[in-house]
Amino acid sequence: MADKQRQADELHVIILAAGQGTRMRTTLPKVLQPLAGKPMIRHLLETVQQLSPKQIHLVHGHGSEQLQAALSDVQLNWVLQDQQRGTGHAVSQAMPAIPAQASVLVLMADHPLVPLALLETMLDNSSDTVLVTMELSAPHGYGRILRDRQGQFTAIIEQADASIEQQQIVEVNSGIYLFPAAALRRWLTRLSSDNAAAENYLTDVLAMAIADGMAVSTLQWPQADCLQGANTQAQLAQLERLYQQQQVQLLLQAGVRIADPQRLDIRGQVDAGLDVFIDVNVVLSGHCQLGDKVSIGPGCVLHDCQLGSGTQVLAHSVLEDVRCGERCMIGPFAHCRPGTRLANEVKIGNFVETKNAVIGAHSKASHLSYLGDAQLGERVNIGAGTITCNFDGVSKWITRIADDVFIGSDTQLIAPVSIGAGAFIGAGSTISHDAPAGQLTLSRSKQTTLQDWRAPAQRVSSTDQHTAESKAATASTGARRKVEPDNKEQN
């Protein structure tokens, strides 16, 4: 325990993130490409932070402004690498800020899913230089691990510099290293760019360590899939699938029933109670808390939601910043926007949109409504087609509906407006003044029936008349009968 503490005090982490990532073919810097909804570099940073290092040095260059804006909340020593002259050059930019006695953990920012357990294992033999390797069936693009006849590590050879024979090697460099700072600094000054990429390769440092007689441990990590880098969209997509599998496994282990583990995406944190069910093609993002017996129907998208036990979200509903009590029924096709707060047993039916809506227990809006900036009491019934007109073109206003109100279908409530407890609002009303409690209020033009009304006679225009005449003519010559079979085929 004391040992570990000492290591954390001396541990400096360098993360390389200055490259452009041209192989991604996008305008967004590579390390900001999203994985599970957040920039890939954040995944790595969150893992590294758990080691409590003395400092994290982030080497940046390409897309610096975007990177700094995206990570403004993270405590980092920002190290500028003006020109991207290779990974060795990148590391050397950070060295002036690192004391000689430190252990230096070097990581590539395009490896988002490096497991904490691996880094901890490396730190457990921090007296050495440690290099993490992995075996890949498709090693193309990675530096290959060279070993002598006794199997002792000798050097790393980059893809572009490797002979055809060396390219057959399947043990590759993961890009994760632990170095003693003083020696690393020495080796970095000796790097040259005499190679295929004309860059200073960090990987050349390892052969120098061997030449200096330093002990270099190679740590081969068996779960190679999580150590892979994302140079291309294809590799990033693979890592995304891997991450999703990991998340779904955690939920399954926690007892969540998942209709198809391949068709659930988690882009954030999910806390689930007992007997939760999640159907296919669901996306959960932000922080979602699902109470006991919550069920999420197919095709639902939930962001930052807290759902009370027994609540059912039916197919194709979209919920953002929703908090609800127990046994609510939401959807199908409901859209609950930020600030939706539902008490117990509220029903939000199909094609109902809510926003900043606080709705009391047992209230229902079953069909086709908009409830925005609205406060509803308990046992309120909102008829189909009811709209709270909350926006006058300049400001938003509140609609208040007290307990036990019945709003007839197709009603517009022009806010600010209040409906008293137990009031009835007649269907088709436009309510622009407060309605008193316990009474029927309606605004509706009087229904009339015109006694002397006649259905319009069929009027025939001159062109219609011409068409009618020519139709009659073709019918009499038999041309019509010839056309009929073709017409049938077209149908």
Q: Which does 143 bind (CB under 5 to 8 A by kind): Ca ion, ligand UD1, none?
A: ligand UD1
In whole angstroms, the minimum distance from the beta carbon of 24 to Ca ion comes to 10
CA distances from 376 to 69, 407, 412, 413, 430 (A): 41, 11, 15, 13, 18
From 183-191, 226-234, 261-269, 321-329, give the range in contact with Ca ion by CB under 5 A.
226-234
Q: Which is nearer to Ca ion, 110 or 378 (CB)?
A: 110
In whole angstroms, the minimum distance from the beta carbon of 228 to Ca ion comes to 9
In whole angstroms, the minimum distance from the beta carbon of 83 to ligand UD1 comes to 8
In whole angstroms, the minimum distance from the beta carbon of 110 to Ca ion comes to 5
d(CA 415, CA 433): 9
Q: Which does 383 bind (CB under 5 to 8 A by kind): Ca ion, ligand UD1, none?
A: none
Per-position DSSP letters for 409-431, written without gaps between them: SS-EEESSEEE-TT-EE-TT-EE
By CB under 5 A, is residue 231 in contact with Ca ion? yes
Q: Which does 202 bind (CB under 5 to 8 A by kind): ligand UD1, Ca ion, none?
A: ligand UD1
For 414, residues 6+ apart whose C-beta sits below 8 A from its C-beta are 389, 430, 431, 432
- For 192-213, what is the HEC assignment? CCCCCCCCCCCCHHHHHHHHCC
Among residue numbers 91 through 110, which ones bind Ca ion (CB under 5 A)? 110
Burial label for 55, CB within 10 Å (0-12, 13-18, 19+), is: middle
From 4-12, 149-157, 225-233, 366-374, give the range in contact with Ca ion by CB under 5 A.
225-233
Q: Per the residue annotation, which of 111, 335, 367, 433 is the catalytic one?
A: 367
d(CA 227, CA 23): 19
Cα dihedral: 237, 240, 244, 246 (round 10) = 120
Of 120, 130, 125, nearest in space to 52 by CA:
120
The answer to whether the beta carbons of residues 444 and 424 sit under 8 Å apart is no
By CB under 5 A, is residue 203 in contact with Ca ion? no
d(CA 314, CA 347): 11
In whole angstroms, the minimum distance from the beta carbon of 158 to ligand UD1 comes to 5
Q: Which is nearer to ligand UD1, 224 or 280 (CB)?
A: 224
With tokens 């259905």, the residue in question is: 455
Q: Give the total of residues touching Ca ion (CB under 5 A).
A: 3
Q: Which does 85 bind (CB under 5 to 8 A by kind): ligand UD1, Ca ion, none?
A: ligand UD1
Active site residue 367: yes
Q: Which is nearer to Ca ion, 25 or 446 (CB)?
A: 25
By CB under 5 A, is residue 29 in contact with Ca ion? no
Q: Which is nearer to Ca ion, 24 or 219 (CB)?
A: 24
Radius of gyration of the chain (CA): 34
In whole angstroms, the minimum distance from the beta carbon of 74 to Ca ion comes to 21
Instruction: Kindly tell me which residue out of 229, 291, 331, 383 binds Ca ion, with binding defined by CB under 5 A.
Output: 229
Q: Which does 84 bind (CB under 5 to 8 A by kind): ligand UD1, Ca ion, none?
A: ligand UD1
Q: Which is nearer to Ca ion, 203 or 247 (CB)?
A: 203
Which residue has the closest beta carbon to ligand UD1? 143
d(CA 355, CA 378): 18
Q: 3-class DSSP state for residue 189?
A: helix
In whole angstroms, the minimum distance from the beta carbon of 90 to ligand UD1 comes to 4
Q: Which does 363 bind (CB under 5 to 8 A by kind): ligand UD1, Ca ion, none?
A: none
Q: Which does 98 bind (CB under 5 to 8 A by kind): Ca ion, ligand UD1, none?
A: none
d(CA 251, CA 259): 12
In whole angstroms, the minimum distance from the beta carbon of 396 to ligand UD1 comes to 45
Residue 389 CB coordination number (10 Å): 17
Q: Which is nearer to ligand UD1, 133 or 381 (CB)?
A: 133
Give the HSE-up count for residue 116: Cα atoms under 13 Å, Cβ half-sphere: 10
Of 159, 203, 148, 205, nearest in space to 180 by CA:
205
Of 59, 69, 72, nearest in space to 98 by CA:
59
**Which positions touch ligand UD1 (CB under 6 A)?**
16-19, 59, 81, 84-87, 89-90, 108-110, 142-143, 156, 158, 172-175, 201-203, 229, 231
CA distances from 242 to 32, 97, 102, 318, 483 (A): 18, 36, 34, 25, 61
Q: One symbol per residue from 106 to 135: x for binding Ca ion (CB under 5 A), - otherwise; what is it?
A: ----x-------------------------
Which residue has the closest beta carbon to Ca ion? 229
Q: Which residues are catalytic?
A: 367
Residue ranges that bind Ca ion, judged by CB under 5 A: 110, 229, 231
